[in-house]
Structure 1
C-alpha cells in the first residue's frame, strides 16, 4: 500500500435529518375561507407568509407556456425510513447510493420488492411496508463487490478485501397522500407532513437518473452534449427536476442546467492544463516542473490544490491487489516524492519515490513531482493517478471561463423549450420502475402546461422639465435618453482625470477627445460642467494608487483652488486591482466620487457609451436620473399623505472552497419623496449565515438618513418619518421564510421603536435562483428575443396553493431565455392588493439608475446586490487580507479566528459618501 502521513483531522458523523420549517405564524393579512379550486384558502389553514387575498386583474391577457408538467398523486401510502450508515466519517452521497442499491438488488432483494427510493443521506421511502421485524428496525451488513459502483470506494484501505458497511433502517412514519391532496386544494397547512410528502415524491422522480448519471442536488448531467472550455474543465448538459405544489394540482418543474466537470484522463495532464491556461507558450509549466524545487511556487501549489481537492482519482499501477476503485484527493504534498520520507516497520526511512521504484520495478518519470494525499494520509505521485469521467467540479469557475459557461448555458426560448422536451426522454418518467411502483404518472406527452398570464402596463417615467420629451412610456422594457435631461442633474465644479494605461496606447489626444466627448454628453443630459479642462495625469499602474490619487487631488487644489469633486480613472484591460484600490480611496478613505472607464471602451467611443457613463456619474454626484410619474397611477412611491421608504437587502457568501472568508450584508433604502434616490450600508458577518445579523442597526442608519434628507434637502416640516416601509429581501430560500419573520422583521420593528416611528411594514422576498421559465405560445406575443414581453405576470396555476406569491418578468429579453423573478409576501401591514404590489414592483424595476432598460428585480434589491459584491472595497488593498482565489483558510479553527480579523479590518464608508449613490 502507498506510504502515509499522519493526520489528526477528525470527521463528523452522518448528516442530520432534514426537518421541516418551524411552525408557521399567522400573518397580519389573511385570505377568505373559500374553495381551494379558486386558489384561495380556508380560514383554518396556517401559512408562514401572508395568505393570498385575491388575484391580480390589471394588464393585457396573454397565453404562455411554462416548463411544468402535471403529476398525479401517488395511489397508496408511502412508508418513510430513517437510514443510518455508522461510520467514522460522513460517506459521500454517491457511495451511500451504491450501498443501498447493492443492499436492495444483491444483498436482500426479498426485503426490497418492489425497490425503495433513497436520497443519498438519511431518508428512504418505500411503496409498501418493508418486513423489518416487530421493532420496525433492522441492521444489514453490506459490502460492494464486482465493480458495480459508480466511482465509489469499495475496498478497505489496506487492500485486504471488500469493506463491510453497517446500514440500519428504522421505520419513521407512514405518509398518506391525502395530505397533499388537501394541501394543493388550499385546505391543509404547510406542516412537516406536507414537507416530508413532497420530499418523498422528489426522491421518487430523481431515483432513476441519479443511479445512472452524475448528480448535484436536484440536477443530473449527461455527456450527450459537452464543451471543452480548457483549464481542465468540460461542460456537460444537465437536467433539473423538482416537484412543486400548485393550485389544485401537483407539478414537476423541468429545466436544463449546466454541470462543470473535471476533464478525465491523466491527473498530471489535468494539473498542467489548469496551471498553464492563459499563459504564453514560453511560460508553460512542463510535467517535470510540477515540483517545489523548480517551476512551481507555493502560490501555484495552493492554487492547484484548491482546484483539485475533493476530486476522485484512480491509480494506474498494479499495486494494492489491483485496486480500481477511486479515492478522494484531499490535498497536495508540500514536497516532491524524492523529498518525502516515511518510516518502515523496521524503523528505516524510505522516500516515496524509492517506495514506488521498488513497487513498480522502475523509477518514476518525475521523482521530484508532487504527490496526492488520499485516505488516511496515503501519498501517491501525480503521474500514477488518473481522473475518471463525470466528476462535478463543485468550486467557483475561474472568472476567465465564466463567458464560456454562459455561452453554453444560454439558449433562446424556443431552443430551451426543445431541449427540455428532449430531456424528457432522458428523465424516462414513463419507463421508471420507481415512478410506476409509487403509482405516479407524469403527463409529459401533453407538453408543458399552458397558463393565462397578464402583461402589466409600464410606468410613465418623468425626466427634467426642460427636456423636449419630459415624460415617456417604455416599450419592450427599454427607452433612450434622446431629447431628455435628468430629473435632477448634478453639477461638476472641479475634476481630474487619472490614466493608468500606457501613454503609447492612450495618448494625450485620446485623453482630450475623451474629455471633450464626456463633457458633451454631460451637457446633453443637463449635467453642468464648470471646468471643461480638467487636470490629466498618467500614472504607473504598478504604483501605490492611493498616494497617486492623493497627489492628483493636491495638484487640483493648487492649480484650481479646490479639490476635485470627481476623479475619472482610465484603466487598462485587466485592471481589477487598480479598480479596487480606486474605489477604496474614493468611497472609504477621502470621500470623493470616482468613475472608472476601460481605455479600450472609451477610446473613440460612441456617444451612447458616454451617455451610459453619465447615468452613473449623475447619481454618484447627488443627482436623480428619472422618477416614476405620479400621474401614471402609481401613487405608492410618491404619495405625500403617506411618506414611503423602500428598502432592499441582500447577503453574499464566499465562493465554494473559500473557508474562512466572511459573508457580507447590505441594506439600501430610498430617501427622497419619489423613491428614486438611495443610500446604503454594508456589514461583515459569519461565513454563509443567511440572516442579516446587524439589520437593526443598519435599518436605523437608513431610516435616520431618510428623515434627515426630507428635513434638510427637501425642506419638509411635516411628514418627516415614513408611514409605510416596503422591505424587499433577496436570496432567502423558502425554508428560511419563518426565520426572516422571527429575526429580520423583529429587527426592523426594533429599529423603528428606537427612533419612535411606526411605519406599517410589508416584507417581500424576491427570488432569482429558480427554474421557472415562460414561453409565448403565440409568436406575435414574443418580443424581438423570442421571450415573453416585459411586464408578464403570472399569479395563478403554478403558484403556491395558499400563500401570496407571483412571478413577474419585468425586463425585455436580450440573450437566451429570460428568468422571471419570484415574489413572496411574508408580511403586510399596508393592506396591499395583488395589483398594487405587482404594479409597485414593476415600477421599481424601471428606476435602476444605471440603465435605460427595466431590470429583472426591483432597483433597491439590485443595488443591495451591488453593495454586497463590492464589500471587498472596504478593505485596504495594501493590507494583509487577500481576496484572490488562491488564498483559502482550510483549517476550521483558523477560519473561525479569521472572522474577527475581517471585522476589525472592515473600513466604514466615508461620511461624504453616506448620502450618495456611490455604488452606481
Structure 2
C-alpha cells in the first residue's frame, strides 16, 4: 500500500473525495451544523491528511468545554518585508510588528511592561491614532481593526513613558522618567476567508492560517490580560484564593484559546491554577517561606545559614517589589525586581555615596531620611539596578505569578485546589464566562467577533468496546473483559509467572517502628500473594537485616546479598532484594535503584514501611504485579481476537514509546533526559527501555538512532531465543512509534529529525518495516463531559473508551481524542493522538482500537491507563534517569540533581552537560532485557 505520508510530512498520497454534497458546506454563522467531509485532495498537511472517520463503538452525547466563535469577515493586511501583496478592497485588519527599543544593552522587556507601554501609547500618548483600540500580544504583534494613519512609510515611532505625574505638577528633580521608543511597522495582510476555507477542509495549514489564528487569540485575550495577572494563555483572578503557606497562595485562573474545529472555529475554555507570591510585606513573605516568626533569624550576625540564604534567594529572585522609599520630592512608588539576597545585614553593608565617601545602609536611612530601621541586622535585597534595600521597606504587589517549580511538599495542596469533579468543573467554566465577558469586550466588537456562550459545544462521541485480556491458562478466569477500564486479580494467575529461588530483605525503618513481627507478617503476606498469582517462591524464610539509612547503601545491600549467598552455600546471590523504606526515604530509594539497576543488576522492590505494616492482601497483589515483570515474567497479554493488528503473526509488530523530560523551571544547570521503550515479545506486553542524557531543554532525541537499533536488535534476539521464531520471521514488519511530549509546532521536527534516525537504525540492521508515527499529547485543555448523569461513570466522567474524531478534531489532519481510563478523582483528561506518518495504511477504527488496547497492558495496575503503556513507561524511565548516577560517589560530590535554580553561562552549561554525560551510568547487562522500571 502506498505511504500515508511522506518523510517530509506532506501526506499528498492521501487524496480522497469529500463526503457530502460536494460544495463548500460552510456556515458563516456560529456553530453552523453542516456535515463536514474529508479534506480535499489538494490539501497539504504536516502529518497525515485525514483518510476517514471512525465508526466503531456506541454513540454517547457529550459536552466539550469549547464554544463556537464567529470568524470576522474583514481583511487582515499582511506584509512580510520581502514581498508585497496587492491591497484588497474592503474593511481591513492590520497586523503590525512592534519593536520596543530602549538601548542595545538591555534584554527583552517583560510582557507585562510591554502591555503597559502599549496601553499608555493608546490611551495617553496617541489616543487619536488608535480608534478603535488595537490589540497586542505582549511581544511583537499588534493588530488593528482599521488602518493606522502612518502615511506612505507605513511606520511610525513614539516616545512613551510610564511615569505618573506628581500631584503638585512638579518634575521631582533628579533623573527624569525612562522614555521608551516604540516603532510600529505594518508588515502583514491576511484574508480571513482563509480560515473559512481551512475549517471546511479546503485550505492547507500554512503560515497565513497560523497568523490569522494568532490574531484571533490576541483579540480574545486582550481584555483579560489588560486587567488580570496572566501566564501564556491563562489569566488569574483573586475571586478564589487558597493560602498554602511558604509565602505562596493559589489563585483560580481561566484558560482560553482559539482552535480550529471541523467547519467551525472554537474557543476552548478551561479552569487553571496560578501559584502566586503572597502580597504584602516582603519581610513577612520571607519569614513565611522559612517557617519562622522572628525577623532576627534573617541576621547573619545571629547565625542565619548561608544555605538558607541561598534557598531564600532562589525563591524570591525575580519578584517585583514596591518601596515606599523617601525621595527629595516626596514619596514615590518605585517598582523594582529582586536580584539577590545580601550576605550581610543593613548595619554591615556599605555603599559609595554619589558625593563621595561610604555609608552603611542602616546609617543612610537613619541619617539622611530620619528613618531608623526596626531590624538593622537582617539581610537586605539587591535589586536590578544594584541598589540595596532593607526587607522591611519592601512591599510585594498582589498577583505575581511564581514561575518556579512548586515545592514538592505543596504539590498535594495544589492538586486539591486544581481538582474538580466534571460537573463542578463545567460549572466553574460557565462562571469563567462572566469574567471573560466576551459580550462587553470593546476589542471583540471592534473586530466584529462574537462568541456563543449559551452552551458548551454539544456533540456525539463514541465509546469503544474494551479489549479482552488474557491471563495464565491455569487461571479460573483466563480471559476477562474490563468494565470501564477496570478489573481485578481474583482467581487469575499471571500469563507467565516467575520463580524466586532466593531473596533477601533490607530494612531501613527503625526496629521499634517496624519490628520482627511486622517483618514476618510482611514475608507471609507477600508469599501468599505470590502463590495466588502463580509466582513460585523457593525460600519461605529469607534473610532480613536492619540497616542505617545514613550509611553507604551499596555496601549494605551487597552485604545482605553475600549473607544470602553464604546461607545457600553457593556462588549465586539473591534474585530479588526487598527494601523497606521509612517516610521521606527518597535518597535511600535512589541509592537502592542505582545499586540494583546499574551496579549489580539485581531486581529490587522498595516498600514503604507505613504501607506494608499490617497490609491487606490487595496491597501485596499490587506489589506482585511489579515483581513479576521485573524478574522477566509477563502479567497479561491482549487476547489475539481483540488485538489482531498487534499480534498478527504475518506482520510482526514492535510498538515504541519515546519521551523527553526537561529540568524544572529555573534549573538551568541540569540536562534533559530521553527514553525509548519498545516491546520484545510477540504479544506487545513485555517491554525494554533505553535512557540517555542530552542538551538541556532540547526536545528532539539526539541518540534515537542508537537507542532504536538496540531495541530492535533485542526484539529480534528475544523472538529467536525465547519464542523460537524462524529466522525469516524475526524482523518486525511494522513499527508503531508513539511520541510523547511534543507540541503541534514541533511535529515537522519529528518528521525531519527523529524519523530519519529511526530509519537509519532499520537500515543498519538491514530491515525495512513500515513505520507509523503517532504523537500523544496530554498538555491540552480539551475536556469531555457526559450530557446526563446516567451516561457517566461513578466519578461523573465519560466512560473509558470514549473517542472523538469529529467537530473538535483537526479540519484536515488525522487526529482523535481518546479517554481510555475510568475516572477516579476530578475530571479525566483525554489523550490527543496526531498521526504524522502511516506507511501501513491503518483505518481510523484500527488506530483508535489498538491505542485503546495498549492502554490496558500497563503491567503495574489492573486498570487501563490514560496513554498507551509504552508511552507511560517512557515517561517513567525519563523521570528515573537520576538513578543512573551514583548517589554516593567516592571522593567527589554527586552531580546536582535537585530542582534548585542555577545560573550558568554557555561555557558553564557545556561543561555541566559533559559532566552529566560522563557521570551517567548505563544499565547493568542483566537489567537490559527486563522491565526494571516497573
Q: TM-score range by the shorter chain?
A: over 0.9
1:559 Cα deviation after fit:
1.1
Question: Contact 2:598 / 2:921 at 8 angstroms: preserved in 1?
Answer: yes
Rounded Cα–Cα distance in structure 1 between residues aligned with 2:865 and 2:13: 29
Question: Contact 2:646 / 2:653 at 8 angstroms: preserved in 1?
Answer: yes
1:285 Cα deviation after fit:
6.4
Rounded Cα–Cα distance in structure 2 between residues aligned with 1:325 and 1:362: 18
Work out which of the residue numbers 797, 815, 836 in structure 2 matches 1:787: 797
- SS for the counterpart of 1:326 is strand
Q: Which residue in the other structure is 1:822 paired with?
A: 832
CA-to-partner distance for each residue in 1:632-658, whole Å, 9 max, x for gaps? 3x2111111111000000000000010
- Aligned Cα RMSD in Å? 1.7
Work out which of the residue numbers 84, 95, 102 in structure 1 matches 2:99: 84
Q: Which residue in the other structure is 1:279 paired with?
A: none
Work out which of the residue numbers 170, 190, 211 in structure 2 matches 1:196: 211
Unaligned runs of 5+ in 2: 1-5, 26-35, 76-92
Q: Which residue in the other structure is 1:280 paired with?
A: none
Rounded Cα–Cα distance in structure 1 between residues aligned with 2:15 and 2:485: 33
Question: Contact 1:710 / 1:720 at 8 angstroms: preserved in 2?
Answer: yes
**2:810 equivalent to 1:804:** no
1:340 Cα deviation after fit:
2.5
Question: Contact 1:24 / 1:46 at 8 angstroms: preserved in 2?
Answer: no
Work out which of the residue numbers 433, 445, 457 in structure 2 matches 1:424: 433
Q: Which residue in the other structure is 1:902 paired with?
A: 916
Work out which of the residue numbers 299, 303, 320 in structure 1 matches 2:307: 299
Q: Which residue in the other structure is 2:745 paired with?
A: 735
Q: Which residue in the other structure is 1:3 paired with?
A: none
**2:154 equivalent to 1:136:** yes
Rounded Cα–Cα distance in structure 2 between residues aligned with 1:498 and 1:293: 45
Rounded Cα–Cα distance in structure 2 between residues aligned with 1:339 and 1:710: 73
Rounded Cα–Cα distance in structure 2 between residues aligned with 1:623 and 1:147: 76
Question: Contact 2:12 / 2:42 at 8 angstroms: preserved in 1?
Answer: no
Q: Which residue in the other structure is 1:649 paired with?
A: 658
Q: Which residue in the other structure is 1:50 paired with?
A: 48
1:847 Cα deviation after fit:
0.4
Rounded Cα–Cα distance in structure 2 between residues aligned with 1:157 and 1:699: 68
Q: Which residue in the other structure is 1:872 paired with?
A: 882
CA-to-partner distance for each residue in 1:788-832, whole Å, 9 max, x for gaps? 000000000111000000000000000001000000000000111
Question: Contact 1:660 / 1:892 at 8 angstroms: preserved in 2?
Answer: no
Rounded Cα–Cα distance in structure 1 between residues aligned with 2:544 and 2:54: 56
Question: Contact 1:63 / 1:777 at 8 angstroms: preserved in 2?
Answer: yes
Question: Contact 1:180 / 1:194 at 8 angstroms: preserved in 2?
Answer: yes
Rounded Cα–Cα distance in structure 2 between residues aligned with 1:315 and 1:266: 10
| 1:93-112 matched pairs, under 5 angstroms | 93-112=111-130
1:571 Cα deviation after fit:
0.3
- SS for the counterpart of 1:728 is strand
Question: Contact 1:31 / 1:54 at 8 angstroms: preserved in 2?
Answer: no
CA-to-partner distance for each residue in 1:457-511, whole Å, 9 max, x for gaps? 0100000000000000000110000000000001111100000000000000000
Q: Which residue in the other structure is 1:841 paired with?
A: 851
Question: Contact 2:473 / 2:495 at 8 angstroms: preserved in 1?
Answer: yes
Work out which of the residue numbers 242, 254, 261 in structure 2 matches 1:239: 254
Question: Contact 1:571 / 1:578 at 8 angstroms: preserved in 2?
Answer: yes
**2:925 equivalent to 1:917:** no
CA-to-partner distance for each residue in 1:591-628, whole Å, 9 max, x for gaps? 00000010000000011100000000000000000000
Going from structure 1 to structure 2, the CA distance change for 1:326 and 1:24 (only over 3 Å counts) comes to farther
**2:627 equivalent to 1:617:** yes
CA-to-partner distance for each residue in 1:166-201, whole Å, 9 max, x for gaps? 000000111211010111111111111000000000
User: What TM-score do the two structures reach when normalised by structure 1?
Assistant: 0.94
- SS for the counterpart of 1:389 is coil
1:320 Cα deviation after fit:
6.9
CA-to-partner distance for each residue in 1:852-899, whole Å, 9 max, x for gaps? 000000000000000000001111112421222446344454233211
- SS for the counterpart of 2:674 is strand
Rounded Cα–Cα distance in structure 2 between residues aligned with 1:159 and 1:403: 50
- SS for the counterpart of 2:151 is coil
Rounded Cα–Cα distance in structure 1 between residues aligned with 2:901 and 2:240: 34
Work out which of the residue numbers 206, 213, 221 in structure 2 matches 1:206: 221
1:111 Cα deviation after fit:
0.7
Question: Contact 1:456 / 1:792 at 8 angstroms: preserved in 2?
Answer: yes
| 1:59-78 matched pairs, under 5 angstroms | 59-77=57-75, 78=93
| 1:272-671 matched pairs, under 5 angstroms | 272-276=287-291, 284=292, 286-319=294-327, 321=329, 322-345=331-354, 347-445=356-454, 447-560=455-568, 561=570, 562-632=572-642, 634-671=643-680
Aligned residues: 884
Rounded Cα–Cα distance in structure 2 between residues aligned with 1:490 and 1:320: 82
1:44 Cα deviation after fit:
1.2
Going from structure 1 to structure 2, the CA distance change for 1:386 and 1:691 (only over 3 Å counts) comes to same
Question: Contact 2:68 / 2:451 at 8 angstroms: preserved in 1?
Answer: yes
- SS for the counterpart of 1:911 is coil
- SS for the counterpart of 1:729 is strand
- SS for the counterpart of 2:567 is helix
Rounded Cα–Cα distance in structure 2 between residues aligned with 1:23 and 1:177: 31
**2:900 equivalent to 1:882:** no
1:366 Cα deviation after fit:
2.3
Q: Which residue in the other structure is 2:133 paired with?
A: 115
- SS for the counterpart of 1:411 is coil
1:712 Cα deviation after fit:
1.1
Higher mean displacement: 389-398 or 329-338: 329-338
Q: Which residue in the other structure is 2:11 paired with?
A: 27
User: What TM-score do the two structures reach when normalised by structure 2?
Assistant: 0.93
Rounded Cα–Cα distance in structure 1 between residues aligned with 2:367 and 2:404: 37
Going from structure 1 to structure 2, the CA distance change for 1:103 and 1:267 (only over 3 Å counts) comes to same
1:268 Cα deviation after fit:
1.0
- SS for the counterpart of 2:219 is helix
Question: Contact 1:156 / 1:162 at 8 angstroms: preserved in 2?
Answer: no
**2:805 equivalent to 1:778:** no
- SS for the counterpart of 1:596 is strand
1:725 Cα deviation after fit:
0.1
Question: Contact 1:29 / 1:829 at 8 angstroms: preserved in 2?
Answer: no
Rounded Cα–Cα distance in structure 2 between residues aligned with 1:657 and 1:53: 43
Rounded Cα–Cα distance in structure 1 between residues aligned with 2:578 and 2:165: 64
1:346 Cα deviation after fit:
5.0
- SS for the counterpart of 1:436 is helix
**2:139 equivalent to 1:124:** no
Going from structure 1 to structure 2, the CA distance change for 1:806 and 1:677 (only over 3 Å counts) comes to same
Q: Which residue in the other structure is 1:163 paired with?
A: 178
Q: Which residue in the other structure is 1:768 paired with?
A: 778
- SS for the counterpart of 1:913 is coil
Question: Contact 2:8 / 2:751 at 8 angstroms: preserved in 1?
Answer: no
Q: Which residue in the other structure is 1:262 paired with?
A: 277
Rounded Cα–Cα distance in structure 1 between residues aligned with 2:463 and 2:629: 30
Higher mean displacement: 131-140 or 85-94: 85-94
- SS for the counterpart of 1:334 is strand
Question: Contact 2:498 / 2:633 at 8 angstroms: preserved in 1?
Answer: yes
CA-to-partner distance for each residue in 1:15-61, whole Å, 9 max, x for gaps? xxxxxxx9974227514142565241111111001000000010011
CA-to-partner distance for each residue in 1:737-779, whole Å, 9 max, x for gaps? 0000000111100010011000100000000010000110122
Question: Contact 1:783 / 1:813 at 8 angstroms: preserved in 2?
Answer: yes
Q: Which residue in the other structure is 2:31 paired with?
A: none
Rounded Cα–Cα distance in structure 2 between residues aligned with 1:636 and 1:261: 49
Q: Which residue in the other structure is 1:182 paired with?
A: 197
Q: Which residue in the other structure is 1:251 paired with?
A: 266
Going from structure 1 to structure 2, the CA distance change for 1:214 and 1:323 (only over 3 Å counts) comes to same
